């Protein structure tokens, strides 16, 4: 008997894809015999490819902000040939809607997000309203599946990520001794701490005999943050730019604690079971912070900076109101709890 085939679609950033995993796991538990496939942007594929309960991960190369359907046609033909029984688009953006229609699953569920081209709803056979943004993103994704009567599992909200075991030795060379990793960068400067805050946090950790190492994203701007940190703190141990996301995942899996602003690596560390301290300024910890007792979050002061700006335009940026002493206190609490 043919197994039902279901395709999950999410074209968003790395952290968004990591946060989709609990919803997919709820779907798997609800339909253990189904084939579950996922379609994500190529850069996010490593987050799903080693999860044994996902049958296949399809990857689509993309240029941010552009659909480029002509370049996607070979993949779309392959996906159409799979003859999916159902598909679910967790985002409901233009790209996901058009691809849902072209892939042509018999039943196509999509989120009705507020923006998009006219007639977008016709790309789906079933739609569901977008849950309000006061809810956690994991809950928002799980809610989409309520249209298929998939039960919401309050004890199933943990993230999940499996590092590549073949990279364990290389990761150990990069980070020989498990310790505290501080990740400096995000995709938006307004979410990043000033270098002087990292210098102060490093001093607080050193005073307690807790060495730190530092990482940043691969772009030139993000790597420049590590250069600035080294200039202010010559003794800082900064890890090199990573050759692949898979190697980065294998390396942070060795950490005893991960400290970071709101960015994908914070969710990757939490998914690996590494305790995290996340700090938030222009974004809401109530929506984006990793869940669970080994993940602590700190929210900065209220701020009216625009969500469309890459920098905070206030005299004192909201992220700067998160103090190193507060982050250190949260770190000490987690490390003390882990030693009991």
Tell me if 281 sits within 8 A of 317, measured CB to CB.
yes
pTM of the model: 0.94
Tell me if 190 sits within 8 A of 305, measured CB to CB.
yes
Chain centroid to Cα 102, Å, comes to 27
- Domain's final residue, options 156, 185, 209: 156
Co-location of 122 and 219 in the same domain: no
Q: What is the pLDDT of residues 18-39, one digit of tens each?
A: 999 999 999 999 999 999 999 9
Co-location of 44 and 185 in the same domain: no
Tell me if 177 sits within 8 A of 239, measured CB to CB.
no
CA distance 249 to 226: 19
Tell me how many domains the chain contains.
2
Co-location of 264 and 308 in the same domain: yes
Co-location of 216 and 109 in the same domain: no
Cβ neighbour number for residue 339 with a 10 Å cutoff: 7
Return mean pLDDT, the chain.
94
In terms of Cβ atoms closer than 10 Å to its own Cβ (0-12, 13-18, 19+), residue 190 is buried
User: 215 pairs with which residues across the strands?
Assistant: 183
Cβ neighbour number for residue 83 with a 10 Å cutoff: 12
Q: What is the pLDDT of residue 309?
A: 84
Co-location of 119 and 214 in the same domain: no
What's the angle, vertex CA 149, arms to CA 24 and CA 21, rounded to 5? 10
Q: What is the pLDDT of residues 216-264, one digit of tens each?
A: 999 999 999 999 999 999 999 999 999 999 999 999 999 999 999 999 9
Co-location of 99 and 15 in the same domain: yes
Q: What is the pLDDT of residues 199-212, one digit of tens each?
A: 999 999 999 999 99
Q: What is the pLDDT of residue 339?
A: 42
Co-location of 117 and 258 in the same domain: no
CA distance 236 to 227: 10
Q: What is the pLDDT of residue 64?
A: 59
Co-location of 186 and 127 in the same domain: no
Tell me if 14 sits within 8 A of 43, measured CB to CB.
yes
Integer CA distances (angstroms), 73 to 43, 68, 69, in order: 19, 9, 6
3-state secondary structure (DSSP) of residue 5: strand
CA distance 101 to 211: 52
Tell me if 302 sits within 8 A of 312, measured CB to CB.
no
Percent over 90 (pLDDT), the chain: 87
Domain that holds residue 309: 165-339
Q: Which residues, including other chains, have CB under 8 Å from residue 40's CB and lie 6 or more apart?
A: 9, 10, 11, 17, 47, 48, 57, 58, 59, 60
What CATH number is given to the structural domain containing 293? 3.40.50.2000
Instruction: Render 86-111 in DSSP notation, one character per residue.
Output: EEEESS--HHHHHHHHHHT-SEEEEE
Co-location of 175 and 306 in the same domain: yes
- Domain's final residue, options 119, 136, 156: 156
Dump strand ranges (E) for the chain: 5-10, 35-41, 56-60, 86-89, 107-112, 126-129, 180-183, 212-215, 237-238, 257-261, 276-280, 295-299
What's the angle, vertex CA 221, arms to CA 215 and CA 222, rounded to 5? 15
Helix axes 195-207, 324-339, angle to 10 degrees: 40
- Domain's final residue, options 156, 190, 212: 156
Co-location of 63 and 207 in the same domain: no
Q: What is the pLDDT of residue 304?
A: 92
Taking residues 100-119, report their average pLDDT: 90
CA distance 21 to 141: 9
CA distance 322 to 281: 8
Co-location of 278 and 335 in the same domain: yes
The candidate with the shortest Cα–Cα distance to 188, out of 295, 298, 113, 288, is: 288
Co-location of 247 and 317 in the same domain: yes
């Amino acid at each position: 008997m043919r197994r039902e085939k279901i395709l999950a679609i999410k074209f968003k950033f790395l952290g968004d894809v990591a946060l989709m995993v609990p919803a997919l796991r709820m779907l798997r538990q609800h339909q253990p015999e189904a084939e579950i496939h996922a379609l994500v942007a190529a850069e996010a594929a490593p987050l799903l490819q080693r999860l044994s309960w996902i049958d296949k991960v399809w990857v689509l190369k993309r240029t941010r902000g552009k659909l480029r359907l002509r370049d996607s046609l070979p993949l779309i033909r392959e996906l159409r040939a799979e003859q999916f029984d159902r598909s679910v688009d967790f985002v409901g953006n233009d790209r996901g809607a058009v691809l849902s229609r072209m892939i042509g699953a018999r039943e196509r569920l999509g989120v009705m997000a507020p923006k998009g081209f006219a007639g977008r709803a016709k790309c789906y056979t079933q739609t569901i309203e977008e849950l309000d943004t006061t809810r956690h993103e994991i809950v928002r994704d799980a809610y989409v599946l309520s249209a298929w009567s998939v039960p919401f599992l309050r004890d199933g909200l943990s993230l999940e990520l499996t590092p590549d075991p073949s990279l364990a030795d290389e990761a150990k060379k990069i980070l020989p001794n498990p310790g505290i990793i501080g990740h400096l960068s995000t995709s938006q400067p307004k979410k990043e701490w000033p270098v002087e805050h990292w210098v102060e946090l490093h001093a607080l950790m050193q005073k307690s005999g807790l060495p730190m190492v530092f990482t940043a994203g691969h772009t030139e701007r993000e790597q420049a943050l590590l250069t600035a940190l080294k200039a202010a703190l010559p003794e800082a141990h900064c890890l090199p730019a990573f050759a692949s996301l898979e190697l980065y995942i294998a390396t942070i899996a060795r950490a005893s604690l991960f400290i970071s602003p709101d960015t994908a690596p914070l969710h990757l560390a939490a998914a690996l079971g590494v305790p995290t301290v996340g700090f938030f300024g222009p974004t809401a910890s109530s929506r984006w912070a990793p869940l669970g007792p080994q993940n602590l979050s700190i929210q900065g002061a209220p701020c009216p900076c625009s969500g469309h700006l890459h920098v905070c335009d206030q005299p004192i940026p909201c992220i700067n109101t998160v103090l190193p002493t507060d982050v250190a206190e949260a770190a000490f609490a987690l490390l003390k709890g882990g030693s009991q």
